[in-house]
Amino acid sequence: MAWTSTTKAKDRTLAESIEVFSEEVVDDSDKTFAVATDGSAAYYEVLGIRLEVVADATVGTRTWSVQVLDSAADVVVDWPMSTGADVTASASLNIELSPGSINLAAIGGTAREFLPRGLMLRQGDSLRVFDRAAIAAAGDDMIVHLRLRGVSPST
């Protein structure tokens, strides 16, 4: 569900919307979301990220990270998650990242992770979520949901 509002900022009217993007293809523990360059939003603020992870039987500990890459694919933000979000072989875990959260070990199958406030994506940027250890990139299942606030000049 999306909502829009109009606010005045520095003699400029901005239109805001909350958007949710999901990537639900399985057998992939490395996902990248590209921000459109079509002018639909001047920038996006990351409000939250939810991962649904199911590891295959390959031995090893999956360690997760979020990166922001610029249009030249240079890493401009690298945000590794705490060990409370690690996933071992044949295990599953939901991981929720949000600004202002504190890192908590999994409670009821969900780990809570801190995400920096004001994490912004500009046109041409990408957001990557992946297993840093790349234990079973083609065997593990990871579903990612992004909650973003898009801001663009309105006409």
Look up the domain containing 100 and give its range: 18-153
In a domain, 44, yes or no: yes
Q: What would the pLDDT profile of 114-139 be if each residue is shown by its tens digit? A: 898 889 999 899 999 999 999 998 99
Of 10, 11, 38, 44, which is closest to residue 151 (Cα–Cα)? Answer: 44
Number of domains in the chain: 1
- CATH code, domain carrying 98: 2.60.120
In a domain, 4, yes or no: no
Length of the chain: 155
Alpha-carbon gap, residue 121 to 45, rounded angstroms: 6
Q: Within 10 A of 152 (CB to CB), how many other CB atoms are there?
A: 16
In a domain, 145, yes or no: yes
pTM of the predicted structure, to 2 decimals: 0.83
